[in-house]
């Protein structure tokens, strides 16, 4: 690749002038034109590595998420990518697999590469962001909040849990179980707490937590938990599932057991990806995954551009899509 020196020589100006043309520093129209011509001739593109080194700031943002195979995070990533690309940033995708070790390694790389900022959906709620903060690299938390005082884009998880449980109650189900994610993950706990708050006062279950299962946020997790719940006595007649993939697993098991909705009530928090079931018998609490991505990316870019307001928290709304049909008559 041609360098800025070659362009300068070809245009008969100094390298500094070429640089100025690229950085919006005033240059006489005449010289700017010379530079543009030379750039076109030599097919010059500035070397981003050298630029980052000098500027101490790469035009790259890191997106750190726990599971790239979950369509929820995939939509979120899509949102981030759209906004970032628009603003001239590239996105480095960091899949942590819910592993704090991998997460820490990626955060270190973000520092070592002088990345402009980080959008983080934390694995375990204990990430050490002090290095990033010490170098004033902006970080925006998304989906899950952190120990640090950061801009965050989150959901009202408790309310989502309440909404999911309520829609089942409204459909006439009475003994609601719940399948949620690992207890260490706040979102899992909060959504379950929403379910509990609906189920407890109604008194339809004596000890609600007997009908609560913690599992992994994956299809297998939903399957395992659902199988256990079906074996209970007294058996539940409906279930709140706090994550999309678990929801798929639960529906698979129910279907194998011949108890598809509405025979068994199901409310899932998070969109069921690519459903082929059409008579919509399961209730969905839709989460604005893509919006979360675009919002987080926009906030991050504002910070990168020097915004120093105190940390903001944006809570995006969910949307309840109730099942078309209710519980079978008792």
Binding site for DNA (CB under 7 A): 1, 3-5, 13-20, 22-23, 26-28, 30-31, 44-47, 49-51, 53-56
Distance, in Å, from the CA atom of 249 to the CA atom of 245, rounded to the nearest integer, reads 6
Choose among DNA, its own copies, none what residue 31 binds, the Cβ cut-off being 5 to 8 Å by kind: DNA
Choose among DNA, its own copies, none what residue 136 binds, the Cβ cut-off being 5 to 8 Å by kind: none
Candidate residues 32, 87, 111, 133; the one interacting with its own copies per rule CB under 8 A: 111
- ∠ at Cα 320 (237, 65), nearest 5°? 95
Choose among DNA, its own copies, none what residue 272 binds, the Cβ cut-off being 5 to 8 Å by kind: its own copies
Choose among its own copies, DNA, none what residue 172 binds, the Cβ cut-off being 5 to 8 Å by kind: none
Distance, in Å, from the CA atom of 185 to the CA atom of 196, rounded to the nearest integer, reads 17
Distance, in Å, from the CA atom of 111 to the CA atom of 126, rounded to the nearest integer, reads 18
Is 231 a residue that touches its own copies (CB under 8 A)?
A: no
Pairing between β-strand 238-241 and β-strand 212-214 as defined by DSSP bridges = unpaired
Q: Which of 43, 117, 11 is nearest to 20 (CA)?
A: 11
Q: Which is nearer to DNA, 44 or 106 (CB)?
A: 44
Distance, in Å, from the CA atom of 127 to the CA atom of 29, rounded to the nearest integer, reads 50
Which range in 7-15, 83-91, 173-181, 184-192 contacts its own copies by CB under 8 A? 83-91
Distance, in Å, from the CA atom of 273 to the CA atom of 78, rounded to the nearest integer, reads 15
> Cα dihedral sign for 149, 100, 117, 187?
negative
Which residues contribute to the site for its own copies (CB under 8 A)? 1, 43, 45-50, 52-53, 58, 60, 63, 68-69, 71, 74-75, 77-78, 81, 85, 90-95, 102, 106, 108-109, 111-114, 131, 135, 219, 245, 248, 251-252, 255-256, 272-278
């Amino acid at each position: 690749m041609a360098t800025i020196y070659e362009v300068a020589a070809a245009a008969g100006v100094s390298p500094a002038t070429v640089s100025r043309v690229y950085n919006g520093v005033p240059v006489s129209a005449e010289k700017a034109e010379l530079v543009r011509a030379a750039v076109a001739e030599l097919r010059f593109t500035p070397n981003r590595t050298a630029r980052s080194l000098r500027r101490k700031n790469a035009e790259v943002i890191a997106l750190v998420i726990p599971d790239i195979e979950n369509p929820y995070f995939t939509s979120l990533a899509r949102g981030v990518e759209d906004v970032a690309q628009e603003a001239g940033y590239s996105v480095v995708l960091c899949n942590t697999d819910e592993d704090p070790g991998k997460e820490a390694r990626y955060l270190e790389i973000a520092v070592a590469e002088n990345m402009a900022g980080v959008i983080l959906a934390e694995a375990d709620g204990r990430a050490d962001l002090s290095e990033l903060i010490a170098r004033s690299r902006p970080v925006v938390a998304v989906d899950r909040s952190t120990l640090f005082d950061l801009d965050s884009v989150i959901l009202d998880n408790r309310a989502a849990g309440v909404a999911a449980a309520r829609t089942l109650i409204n459909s006439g189900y009475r003994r609601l179980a719940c399948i949620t994610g690992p207890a260490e993950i706040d979102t899992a706990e909060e959504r379950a707490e929403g379910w509990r708050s609906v189920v407890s006062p109604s008194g339809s279950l004596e000890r609600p937590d007997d009908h609560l299962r913690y599992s992994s946020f994956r299809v297998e997790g939903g399957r395992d938990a659902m199988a256990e719940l079906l074996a209970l006595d007294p058996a539940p007649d409906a279930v709140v599932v706090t994550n999309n993939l678990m929801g798929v697993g639960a529906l698979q098991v129910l279907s194998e057991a011949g108890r598809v909705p509405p025979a068994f009530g199901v409310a899932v928090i998070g969109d069921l990806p690519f459903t082929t079931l059409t008579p919509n018998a399961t209730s969905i609490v839709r989460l604005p995954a893509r919006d979360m991505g675009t919002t987080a990316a926009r906030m991050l870019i504002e910070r990168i551009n020097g915004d120093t307001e105190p940390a903001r928290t944006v809570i995006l709304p969910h949307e309840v899509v109730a099942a078309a049909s209710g519980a079978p008559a008792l």
